[in-house]
Structure 1
Amino acid sequence: MAYTNYDQQYDDEQGGNLSEGTRCPECDGHLQTEGGETACLSCGLLLDEYRYDHGATPRSYADSETDREHVGAPLTETRHDRGISTAIGRTRDSNGGFLTARKRRQLRRLRREHSRGLFASTAERNLATALSEIARLTSALELPRSAREVASRVYREAQARSLIPGRSIEEMAAASVYAACRCSAISRSVVEIASYSHVSESAVYARYRVLNKELELEAAPPRPEETLTRVASTLEIADDVRARAGELISALRAVKAGSGCNPAGIAAGCLYVAVCEFSQSITQHEIAAAAGVTAVTLRARAEDLKQVEPKTTESSLGDCGYDRPST
């Protein structure tokens, strides 16, 4: 089979290349371009392929299902200008060539004026500071990008409700990160967030209460399973021990034995009993410190497990040398 080179041209309406001729060189059939490939409709001969799509990809937005348009990258809540910004170059042009000294001086003046007009008001400047603090906290806590978006949205809503004046930007930013974790079901405690922030634990929790009350956040109560996963990963506990602790948590929930108790304490108590069942060398204080509770709380939740599985719990705690606290 002979192959012949043909001059090609791009068709904006069809989104691909079309041959100047409209006939197949093999069977004289009609040609069709679809998906970047030009092929014969009769014999299927592939004449050319063009993988670059120069056409726009229109989409419909939620507020208008019929108005399809293409406007570039989506907006983001993590930037004070929602991602619509301008970057002015320094030493090279768009082709990679070096700029002249006169052009560099001109760009330097443009950058200076651009930086002066970057913020339209003091509130916008404070917003940029808060979003930078949120970005730092989410990065230090290794939170996903979605949590950063939620935290930025919470802070923007708080600023729109005039909740920021009179309160520290760092405190409100840390509280927004904690609110994002609660709304996204991510296991992060106030202690962890305060350790990476420049504010105290009480200040973070106080600002979170303000956000939760004024913004009516959809924050679900924390679940023991979230703390269990985090603590088990921190202490490098085996998967079978972690699974057993999850079964104990489910058993407690079934009889409502841990109602009203700290979820972190429930997770710590169940994990300690599971560790004792598998004869792991992990102390109460290590598990309690990783969960953010005291050893007294851990022992109290371990006692609650005796209502569910008395024989297993008694033997497991006895093997670990656990003495029942005196009443």
Structure 2
Amino acid sequence: MSLREIYERTFDESCGKSIDATDCPECDGRLATDGGETSCEACGLIVDHYYIDHTHGPRVFDDDPVPTRRTGGRLTPTRHDRGVSAEIGYNRDANGQRVSSEKQRQLHRLRREHRRARFGSKAERNLATALQEIARMGSALDLPYSVVEEASQTYRRAQQQDLIRGRSLEMMAAGSLYATCRARGLPRRQAEIANVARCTVIQVRTGYRVLNSELGIDAQIVTARTAVPRLASDCGVSSAIQARAYELAELADDDGITNGRNPMGVAAACLYLATKQHGGKQTQAEFATTADVTVPTLRARYYELTERV
């Protein structure tokens, strides 16, 4: 069996045709494309098919006051129905005119029935609750929307593999968000996720452990250099100190100082050393409190850095 395409494939945006040939390979007849299928007009051989029809544009009528176009939001995994459901308005119609009181009562009844019919099962209702929780935590942590979408997709994968059964929705939602941050290499600690989540740090750790073992999360290694920008922003140091601390963090990662140690402690030590070199006045306690490490930990990493520099 051949593993390659028999005919060379390209794509023409204007006509939706996906091959360059114009003659039938069987009877040398003329090829025509209709509805995404390229077939021979003589023998009827279907040479290729492409189900997306690019030839049909939006329906726009000249007598309409406002041109109507087929538009809509894109599909998103952050909604339980991927954003294809409709929303019923309240007091105004599509033209912006205020509706009557009788129509408002009718819209109220329609919204009530619409809410009841949105979920086909209890699993969909739980999925909607979890996705709303992920969106809320992402907004509280000021995370990019792409991270929220990836966390929602991770939760969907966990639900498909029946990992939610017997576990709380909030725990698995927080674990999905933390797993996405680890996969993206974002310096977010479990305590930060737990501060905005409706669960504890232990539950966030448990949810991440389940997802990591069952789904195989491609978690990035947390290094000192990835923690320096966030820690420098929280401490309010200058750009020169941050640049020097980043150089020290690269040196610590290359020399193996961070092996088996808390990266936040190494990053705090790099910032403290860079502050001393530039004549800053921040103390070890301030950096240790911001990095959520103890002062002896910061001091031990500081001594190791001064021996290498």
Write out per-residue CA displacement over residues 221-268 of structure 1, whole angstroms, 9 at most, x where no aligned residue: 112122111110011101111111111112222222322222111111
In 1: Cα distance, 2:219 partner to 2:117 partner: 38
How many corresponding residue pairs? 248
* TM-score, length basis structure 2: 0.75
Higher mean C-alpha deviation, range 85-94 or range 209-218: 85-94
Q: Would you say 1:203 and 2:187 are equivalent positions?
A: no
Question: Could you tell me which amino acid in structure 2 is paired with residue 255 of structure 1?
Answer: D
SS at structure 1 position matched to 2:52: strand
2:228–2:249: 8 Å Cα contact kept in structure 1?
no
| 1:193 equivalent in structure 2 | 193
CA RMSD, aligned part only?
Answer: 2.2
Q: Would you say 1:95 and 2:95 are equivalent positions?
A: yes
| 1:174 equivalent in structure 2 | 174
Q: Would you say 1:299 and 2:283 are equivalent positions?
A: no
| 1:234 equivalent in structure 2 | 234
Write out per-residue CA displacement over residues 6-32 of structure 1, whole angstroms, 9 at most, x where no aligned residue: xxxxxxx9xxxxxxxxxxxxxxxxxxx
In 1: Cα distance, 2:159 partner to 2:305 partner: 46
| 2:288 equivalent in structure 1 | 288
Return the offset for 1:201. Answer: 1.0
| 2:65 equivalent in structure 1 | none
Identity %: 46
1:75–1:84: 8 Å Cα contact kept in structure 2?
yes
From 64, 68, 80, the equivalent of 2:52 is 68
Question: Could you tell me which amino acid in structure 2 is paired with residue 68 of structure 1?
Answer: I
Alpha carbons of 1:235 and 1:69: their partners in 2 closer, same or farther (altered >3 Å)? farther
In 2: Cα distance, 1:108 partner to 1:73 partner: 24
In 2: Cα distance, 1:142 partner to 1:184 partner: 15
Alpha carbons of 1:252 and 1:98: their partners in 2 closer, same or farther (altered >3 Å)? closer
SS at structure 2 position matched to 1:68: coil
1:258–1:304: 8 Å Cα contact kept in structure 2?
no
| 1:315 equivalent in structure 2 | none
Map 1:140-159 → 2, pairs under 5 A? 140-159=140-159
In 1: Cα distance, 2:251 partner to 2:99 partner: 71
In 1: Cα distance, 2:73 partner to 2:93 partner: 23
Return the offset for 1:93. Answer: 2.4
Write out per-residue CA displacement over residues 19-60 of structure 1, whole angstroms, 9 at most, x where no aligned residue: xxxxxxxxxxxxxxxxxxxxxxxxxxxxxxxxxxxxxxxxxx
1:269–1:299: 8 Å Cα contact kept in structure 2?
yes
Question: Could you tell me which amino acid in structure 2 is paired with residue 206 of structure 1?
Answer: T
4+ residue runs of structure 1 moved beyond 4 angstroms? 69-72
Question: Could you tell me which amino acid in structure 1 is paired with residue 157 of structure 2?
Answer: E
Question: Could you tell me which amino acid in structure 2 is paired with residue 289 of structure 1?
Answer: T
1:227–1:291: 8 Å Cα contact kept in structure 2?
no
Write out per-residue CA displacement over residues 197-231 of structure 1, whole angstroms, 9 at most, x where no aligned residue: 22111111111111111110111111212211111
In 2: Cα distance, 1:119 partner to 1:193 partner: 28
Return the offset for 1:108. Answer: 2.4
**Structure 2: 5+ residue runs without aligned partners?**
1-13, 15-47, 55-70
Return the offset for 1:307. Answer: 3.6
In 2: Cα distance, 1:254 partner to 1:96 partner: 63
Alpha carbons of 1:222 and 1:94: their partners in 2 closer, same or farther (altered >3 Å)? same
**Structure 1: 5+ residue runs without aligned partners?**
1-12, 14-63, 310-327
Map 1:102-117 → 2, pairs under 5 A? 102-117=102-117
Q: Would you say 1:118 and 2:102 are equivalent positions?
A: no
In 2: Cα distance, 1:224 partner to 1:268 partner: 9
Structure number with larger C-alpha Rg: 1
